[in-house]
Structures are given as C-alpha cells and as structure tokens.
Amino acid sequence: MANTVKMTVNGKAVSGDVEARTLLVQFLRENLGLTGTHVGCDTSQCGACVVHVDGQSVKSCTLLAVQANGSKVTTIEGLAPAGGDLHPMQAAFREHHGLQCGFCTPGMVMSAVDLGKRNKAPSEQEVREWLEGNICRCTGYHNIVKAVMAGCRAMAAGPAKAAAAKGGDDD
C-alpha cells in the first residue's frame, strides 16, 4: 500500500508515493535523484546519510519517509545555492583538506553545519565528540576536525567575514 508524502526538500515542495517501510534516504536518492546523501552501512553507524530535518541533523537511514511528511529537509545538494559560493563549511572542508575519497563528506559536512549552528567556536574535543556518529575510513580525522573548527568560525562570522575566519594552520 502506497503512502503519499509531502515535504520541502532543499527549498522545493516535493511529494511522492512510497511504501510505509521506505527510508528517507531511499526517498531522497531513488524518488528525487538526490544522490549526494550516501548509504554507507544500513545500520545508522557511519553517518554518510546525514541530512537536516527541520533544522537538525538526522541519519536519514533511521527515519521513514512518512515520518518526514510535512518537514523541511536539506541535503548536501541544498546547502549552497546552485551556481553560488560554497557554504562556509563546504569551503572549510576544501581549504583544510577534510576529505579524501569523499564518500563520508556529505554526512560529515551536514553534521558539522548543525554543530556550527549550536556552537560557534567548538574545541577540538567538542568537534570529535560531535562527529562520533560519522565514520571516515580514509583521513584519520585530523583535517576533518580542523575543517569543522574553521567552518564553525566562518559560519559565525557570516558571509562578509568568512574569508578572514578561515584562519588556522594549513599543514
């Protein structure tokens, strides 16, 4: 039996018919073609599927699409305007080499943006604790942590001061 879900995804009203068991990550990828949200483990352990639902980071493999009915969802594709500048957190990941293969990056960035909204200047320890639910098999996390800290500073500074907030050493 199909259920119709309606939500706002990346600022656009969308709807679709889904089975009751359809996960939000499946709806985003298969129904809407938003493949930036990755499926890494199918057990909610890796964080590759993190999106924002009503402003909070959520592992979309743990939420049914019907549970997101009526919600505002932001995926990695909706973080920065099409053809515009990168979101400050995305720019920080690029600047501080916070990625290698890139598979975990969308989930890391989405989690980090939520942290940046809550904590404008997190310590290294706070970043590491916040990202405990996100696994990277390539980087060793050092540059990810630096990127998140710089991204939080840039978010706090706002667009006009984002370049000055990059800061930090670039090793």
- State the CATH number of the domain containing residue 156: 1.10.150.120
Shared-domain flag, residues 74 and 92: no
Q: Are 135 and 46 spatial neighbours (Cβ–Cβ below 8 Å)?
A: yes
Look over the chain and give the mean of its residue pLDDT values, rounded to a whole number.
91
Structurally, the chain folds into a number of domains equal to 2
Q: What is the pLDDT of residue 159?
A: 65
What is the residue range of 154's domain? Answer: 88-165
Mean pLDDT of 41-67: 94
Q: What is the pLDDT of residue 167?
A: 46
pTM > 0.85:
yes
User: Is residue 83 in some structural domain?
Assistant: no
User: Is residue 28 in some structural domain?
Assistant: yes
Q: What is the pLDDT of residue 88?
A: 97
Confidence check: pLDDT of 169 > 60: no
In the listed set 78, 107, 142, which residue is the last one of a domain according to the structure? Answer: 78
Burial status of residue 61 (CB atoms within 10 A of its CB: 0-12, 13-18, 19 or more)? buried
Mean pLDDT of 139-161: 90
Q: Computed over its alpha carbons, how large is the radius of gyration of the chain? A: 16
